Chain A
Amino acid sequence: MIIETKEVAALPNTIIVQLSGELDFECITQISDLFIQIEKSDKNFAIVDLTAVSLISSAVLGELMGGRKRLIEKGGDLVLAGLKMDIRTKLGLMGATKIFRIFSDIRSALNSYKWENGSHPEQVKISFPSNLNIVPPVRQLVSRITKQKGYGNRDSFRIETIVDEVCNNAVEHGKQGDDQRINLQLQIDPDKVEIDVVNTSDPDKVESLKTLLHPHEIGEIKAEEKRGRGLALIKMLSDELSVNCSESGTSVHVKKKREE
């Protein structure tokens, strides 16, 4: 057996423990000593990488459980990563999969930890032609992403509606033409999403849009009015909305906090 440890620059409380070879009863002392050291250190989150492990005994599993217990007492955790199918099956038989969280690789484990423990927002960017037909796939993509990150159905639906309205507006009121493009950026963290949509302005519409988009007037538009309903709806569904329209482009910024 070989043990290697690695630090993670962005997460000073995290340690990666890479084990390789056969983990049999002869390794117990080494592993136990390592976890005692980790317990005394400033680390409380350990990712144990088992990618290069060919055999794991129940005694070693016991040591890993002990290590996890110590880290939990420090407010942290110990997770497993990189298990080959045979090892995973074996761990399943030993009941370990009910105790440890298991990730496919170190990076998934790190990403999951970062997501749960701090503001590490994630970004997705989409660039697409300015055409109404492509808006449904775009809004559904955003909706799936929010659900995948744990947002509830209601929040995801509202976010989908926001994306729909903002993108439809960009297509309908932006510069027309098959070569025109819309750029959407989704920034998501456990507490909120921020959506930015940028498109090229229609030079003939800039002045009238600037009037419509006067900050005090969004939201005062009545349902029976022909224009502006979409914006009013976005404003009602979101926590922050700002629109900037100029000759060089139109950009919409929406922030929506997670409620569920």
Chain B
Amino acid sequence: MNIRFPYKVELSFPGDLEYIPSIRKFVSEVLLVSQFSPKFAYRSEIIVDEICNNAVNYGSQADDARIELVCEIFEDRIEFTIKDQGGSKDHLERLQSVLQNDSNEEKSHNGLGLEIVRMLSESLNVVIDDKHLTSVHIVRKREDKTQSS
């Protein structure tokens, strides 16, 4: 029986790049199981990849840093929330400057990454609280059947 919408899948994993390929493929497969198109699944895979890379590179650099990813799957969209324990002040300032797109330096691959996420999503919100915990929330809508899938 198909999984009824909306439903959540939550993941918690070490803040290390090597976990990301498995995590992004998992999200893609979950979406295919819920009858999202292969194209939607691929684009979501890219979003997950880029936001996880950012969390690893810009988030907490502690040895035991962990990343939490929540995927909420609705009938017409997917929402990602990614949380990490937050980075140092330098890291956070850099992240904010990349997000505000006002960095003058040649875009590093992380700048490119968020640019791609921005283009592939309907909304992207970043919250950084007092404890430097970072939370990024992204919404991507399912394409219309009339659009190319």
Contacts and interface: CB of A to CB of B under 8 A. Distances in A.
Does B associate with A? Answer: yes
A160 B29 CA distance: 16
B145 interface: no
A134 B30 contact: yes
21 contacts: A8-B63, A106-B61, A107-B16, A111-B14, A124-B11, A124-B12, A124-B14, A125-B10, A127-B8, A131-B3, A134-B30, A136-B29, A136-B33, A137-B30, A137-B33, A141-B22, A144-B21, A144-B25, A148-B18, A148-B19, A178-B4
Most buried by B among A134, A138, A148: A134
Interface of B: 1-4, 7-19, 21-23, 25-26, 29-30, 33-34, 57, 61, 63, 65
Contacts of B61: 106-107
Nearest to B57: A105
A145 interface: yes
Given A124-B11, A127-B10, A140 B57 contact: no
B3 A129 contact: yes
Interface size class of A (residues with CB under 8 A): 20 to 34
Most buried by A among B1, B21, B30: B30
B1 A126 contact: no
A216 B17 CA distance: 43
A108 B16 CA distance: 7
Nearest to B56: A107
A117 B8 CA distance: 37
Interface of A: 8, 10, 104-108, 110-111, 114, 122-129, 131-134, 136-138, 140-141, 144-145, 148, 178
B9 A110 contact: no
A123 B12 CA distance: 8
Contacts of A106: 61
Given A104-B17, A133-B2, A148-B18, 10 more contacts: A106-B61, A107-B16, A111-B63, A126-B10, A129-B3, A129-B8, A138-B26, A141-B22, A141-B25, A145-B22
Describe A's contact surface by its main secondary structure.
helix
B14 A127 contact: no
A143 B24 CA distance: 14
Contacts of A137: 26, 29-30, 33
B63 A124 contact: no
A126 B4 CA distance: 19
Contacts of B15: 107
A63 to B, nearest CB: 27
The 9 closest A-B pairs by CB, nearest first: A137-B29, A144-B22, A127-B10, A125-B12, A141-B26, A178-B4, A131-B3, A129-B7, A124-B13
Contacts of A131: 1, 3
Nearest to A143: B22
Given A141-B23, A178-B3, A110 B10 contact: no
Contacts of B23: 141
Nearest to B65: A107
